[in-house]
């Protein structure tokens, strides 16, 4: 079977991106990617921390923001051809959420392991 996952990182939803980035900057971390809805910070040891805005941006429905916050932290798994990956997982009886496009254009779908830990498949735009 070909390699499906190319890399991974942990991500948390944040309600106030500026406030969150300021907090992590105080810990000595600097953004390596800095977009209005998404910021990445490289932690010592190679872990990447992603912060995704779930705040009240214009046009964002509160229900969607709450849904993105469910589960707190998530492990992000970058894939190519997310439609195929989700279809393959469903054939293997793995429940995956609907593929959704995030601000900035990345497509993602959530799934949970048997203990309820959240994993997110993402295909970057």
pLDDT per residue over 26-85, tens digit each?
888 899 999 988 999 998 888 899 998 886 555 555 454 444 444 477 888 989 999 999
Note the helical H segments in 5-125: 17-26, 62-69, 82-91
Structure letter (DSSP) for residue 114: T
Buried b (16+ CB within 10 A) or exposed e, 88-109: ebeeeeeebeeeeebeeebbbb
For the chain, list the strands marked E by DSSP: 5-14, 31-34, 38-42, 48-53, 73-79, 100-101, 107-112, 118-123
Q: What is the pLDDT of residues 74-118, one digit of tens each?
A: 888 989 999 999 999 999 999 999 999 988 889 999 988 876 778
């Amino acid at each position: 079977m070909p390699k499906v996952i190319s890399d991974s990182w942990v991500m948390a939803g944040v309600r106030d991106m500026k406030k969150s980035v300021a907090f992590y900057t105080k810990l000595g971390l600097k953004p390596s990617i800095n977009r209005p809805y998404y910021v990445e910070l490289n932690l010592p040891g190679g872990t990447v921390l992603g912060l995704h805005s779930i705040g009240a941006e214009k046009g964002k429905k509160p229900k969607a923001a709450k849904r993105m916050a469910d589960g707190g932290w998530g492990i992000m798994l970058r894939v190519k051809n997310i439609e195929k990956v989700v279809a393959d997982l469903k054939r293997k009886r793995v429940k995956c959420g609907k593929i959704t496009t995030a601000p900035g254009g990345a497509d993602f779908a959530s799934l949970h392991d048997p203990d309820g830990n959240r994993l997110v498949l993402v295909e970057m735009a």
